[in-house]
Each structure stands twice: as C-alpha cells, then as structure tokens.
Structure 1
Amino acid sequence: MSAQSPSPARPPRPSSPVRTALRRTLVIGAVVPLALTTLFTGSAFAHGSTVDPASRNYGCWERWGDDFQNPDMATEDPMCWQAWQADSTAMWNWNGLYRENVGGDHRGAIPDGQLCSAGRTGGDRYAALDEPGPWHTTPVQNDFTVTVHDQALHGADYIRVFVTEQGFDPTTQRPAWDDLELLADTGTIPPGEGSPSDGESLNGVSIDIDVSAPGRTGHHIVYMIWQASHYDQVFYACSDVSFPQA
C-alpha cells in the first residue's frame, strides 16, 4: 500500500530549524505543560523511539507538529488526524511510550491488539495508535535499516525488531503477538553507543539495526522492543512500512 502523502498543491514546509522554532511556539501556546517537560527539558526527561521508519506517533509529530490544527490532515493523513484528535500529547510525547517493571514478559504485559500503545500505557493517551487504517508508510526494501533514537543515552539490554507476517493487513487488523516474526536482536548496547545527533528534537544517539524481511510485499508493521539498560523500562513502537510489490 502506498504512503499517504501531502497534497501537491500544498506549499513547502519550512526548513528544520524554523520548524523546530514553530513547534516550540505552538507547544507553549496550545499544548499542556507536560509536553514541554518531555520535549524540551533535556535528557533527564528524554527517552526515545524508532525514528526511521518513523513510529506512528513520531511520524505524526514530524509531519504535523508545526501544523497540527490544519484541517487538511483529515484527508491527507487520516490516521494521524484521528490520533491528534484522540490525544495530542501522544505525539508531543512520542519519546515516552514505555512500560516499567515488565520483567521481560512482554506478552504478559501487553494484550493482543494493544501492541502499538504498549497495552494502553498511560491510560488512553496512546490508544489511537492501535487503530487499524491507512497509516502513512515509509517505503523500504526487504533488506533495510531500523534507526532507534536513544535520547537519554540509556543504552539497551537489547533492542528487538519484528515484522508482521505476510498476509497481515494493517489497514483492517490490529497486530497480535502471533502476527510478528522476530528478525533482529541487538543484544547489549552500552549507554552512549550510536551516532550522535545535534538536532534539538533528538539530542542523543541513533542506533542503526540491519533487518532482512524476505517474502514481504505491501503494507506491514515493524514492531520495536527496546529494553533500556538503566532500569526495567521498556520502550515499544509500531512503524508502518511498504515493501516493494512482487
């Protein structure tokens, strides 16, 4: 399934530094203070997520964070639209989708159908991320790279990357554990290891993970589990991708 893309008639968006400034202005004027705590107060409150292919809430923030009240989103990016309407803090807090004290029992902590919200962590804040539909997809090849951003230099006991099995349809189905195939497991990553980023919205390190997903075509979900090494704190993310058609 092809990615949902902005209308060709829409004027270009500002460059990244300007967009960052606009985001700050909009957050201050229109979003609850909690968003400021997560995005702009430094590494003590920062965590991370999958940034490429973008997780559902990070992608919605990247595409619409400087324009989140634009009604064009409803037709150009309908799944982001419903997510912004359900709870805008899910996007402003794209780096805070985690659970604590899971003890490695991810299946026990997160029910089928709620993988993208990490079992409704934080109440209903991230619930809209579980909704099936035409989510914006990132085109990838069957051999591709997943980039996870570690804002606070937590490091990892492991990062695991899964891809839905061929035949799964993210436009009509919520992923269950049995829909996923484990395709990468990094093992231990020391705190601070990765490629540094000086972007104001990131300010940490990015970790690249090579993934091979043979036999996939069309729209799939890439599911990431990142067990941080500093504490029993686990980050989860759903990213939508489109593999080449056979």
Structure 2
Amino acid sequence: MLAVLGASLALLMTVATGSASAHGSVSDPPARHYGCYQRWAQNWQAPEMATQDPMCYQAWRSDPSAMWNWNGLLRDGVGGNHQAAVPDGQLCSGGLTQNGRYAALDVPGAWKTVNKPNRFTLNLLDQSSHGADYIRVYVTKQGFDPTTQRLRWSDLELVSQTGRIPTGTTTPVTVNAPGRTGHHIVYTVWQASHLDQSYYFCSDVNFTG
C-alpha cells in the first residue's frame, strides 16, 4: 500500500511539474500559493508546517494540487469584466476557478508576509512568455485586516497599471502605495496577451513605510 501511495504521489508531482511550466505567477512579493510552494514543496509532509506556516498547512490539506499547479490560477473568457467573474470573498481563488482548487487561498489568517517599503517593484513570472495586455496592481486600504476579513473589491485601491507589454521571468511593475503600514494584500490581475486569459494573485506584504 505504501509503495502504491508513493508511486501515486510521484505521478502527481510529475504531472503537476509538467503543467506548471505553462503559465505563471507573481514571484515577488510571492502569491500565496507560490509562496507555499517555494517554502514547502521539498518537504510538503513535514509536521512542523502546521505550526510554522499554518495558512500554507491548511491550503496543502485542502488541495495540494493548488500548490503543485501554482501557475494555473486563471480564468478564460472573462472579457475584461473581472468583478463580474470574481465575486467578493473569492478574489484570491480567482472566483473559485478550476472547480474550487484554490479555495483555501481565500481563507483569512496569518499568511506569511514579506517586508516592503511603500514604493517597491513587483515581479511577474511568465514562464511561457504569454505577454500582457495589461497588469493591474491593487493594494488593500488602510484598516483592512487580512487575518480576519475575506477580500472584496471595495477593499482595494488600484495603484499601478501597465499597458501592453512583453513579459518574462522577471517582469517588473512599479507599485506605489502610500499611507499604509502593517499587513496588506497586494492583488494582481494579469491579462495575458495570447488568449483572453486572466490571472489573479493575492500576495501578503508587511509595509514598513
């Protein structure tokens, strides 16, 4: 039985690794599922995850394929109407896209943060060089609490938007979010150029001023 389980897990990781080369994610500050993948993919059964990284722990337990497919959080055919396609409370999962695979990303809690000044560079990782019709970056308003509140569109302020650009392994976007301190969500919408394909990413930052 253990041998069969091990073989099944190996197959899952092989399939996921293959599919994971197709799209992309925000790599800095890392999107929630990408950060979990970076920290725990090599030791995803470690019991210490439960205490050291409890939000990743609940996400892995909910659906480990969300982390293995860290660059598949997308919706097709949105037509630019993101607020209709992605309801309040489901922004981090892209409106429960992929049959709810990423639902655990919507759960409020003590997600790991990275320190950022109020003006910083966001990097998009686009493995397949899909390009972008645009990249929009939003940041939660001061007073929003990611540890207790599910994200709504009204909680966000648009702070940066690109035009049509080619993208690559480190596509920089300048973000300026003054007047914020502490834990915030940086929400990125990447409209890919190769198809009507929209990607949605929640990244957790601690603004240091």
- Does TM, scored on the shorter chain, surpass 0.5? yes
Residue in 1 that maps onto 2:64: 88
Residue in 2 that maps onto 1:216: 180
Aligned equivalent of 1:236, options 197, 200, 204:
200
Report the Cα offset of residue 244 of structure 1: 1.6
Matched, 1:49 2:64: no
Q: Which runs of 5+ in 2 are unaligned?
A: 1-5
State the alpha-carbon separation in 1 of the partners of residues 47 and 187 from structure 2: 29
Give % identity.
Answer: 58
Aligned equivalent of 2:45, options 39, 59, 69:
69
Report the Cα offset of residue 37 of structure 1: 3.6
Q: Which amino acid aligns with 1:85?
A: R
Relative to structure 1, the CA distance from residue 134 to residue 153 in structure 2 (aligned partners, 3 Å threshold; closer, same or farther) is: same
State the alpha-carbon separation in 2 of the partners of residues 31 and 221 from structure 1: 33
Matched, 1:60 2:36: yes
Residue in 1 that maps onto 2:190: 226
Residue in 2 that maps onto 1:10: none
Relative to structure 1, the CA distance from residue 230 to residue 166 in structure 2 (aligned partners, 3 Å threshold; closer, same or farther) is: same
Q: Counterparts of 1:1-246 in structure 2 under 5 Å? A: 30=9, 33=12, 35-40=13-18, 46-190=22-166, 193-194=167-168, 205-244=169-208
Report the Cα offset of residue 85 of structure 1: 0.2
Partner secondary structure for residue 85 of structure 1: helix
State the alpha-carbon separation in 1 of the partners of residues 20 and 186 from structure 2: 28
Relative to structure 1, the CA distance from residue 244 to residue 42 in structure 2 (aligned partners, 3 Å threshold; closer, same or farther) is: closer
Q: Which amino acid aligns with 1:156?
A: A
State the alpha-carbon separation in 2 of the partners of residues 67 and 56 from structure 1: 17
Q: Which amino acid aligns with 2:172?
A: D
State the alpha-carbon separation in 2 of the partners of residues 109 and 38 from structure 1: 26
State the alpha-carbon separation in 2 of the partners of residues 70 and 31 from structure 1: 17
Q: Are the aligned partners of 1:145 and 1:209 in contact in 2 as well (CA < 8 Å)?
A: yes
When the two structures are superposed, what TM-score results if normalisation uses the length of structure 1? 0.79
Report the Cα offset of residue 38 of structure 1: 4.3
State the alpha-carbon separation in 2 of the partners of residues 229 and 155 from structure 1: 5
Residue in 2 that maps onto 1:9: none
Relative to structure 1, the CA distance from residue 105 to residue 28 in structure 2 (aligned partners, 3 Å threshold; closer, same or farther) is: farther
When the two structures are superposed, what TM-score results if normalisation uses the length of structure 2? 0.93
Partner secondary structure for residue 65 of structure 1: helix
State the alpha-carbon separation in 1 of the partners of residues 59 and 208 from structure 2: 27
Report the Cα offset of residue 28 of structure 1: 6.6
Segments of 4+ moved more than 6 angstroms: none
Q: Which runs of 5+ in 1 are unaligned?
A: 1-26, 195-204
Aligned length: 204
- Please give the root-mean-square deviation of Cα atoms over the aligned residues, in Å: 1.7
State the alpha-carbon separation in 2 of the partners of residues 42 and 98 from structure 1: 12
Partner secondary structure for residue 98 of structure 2: coil
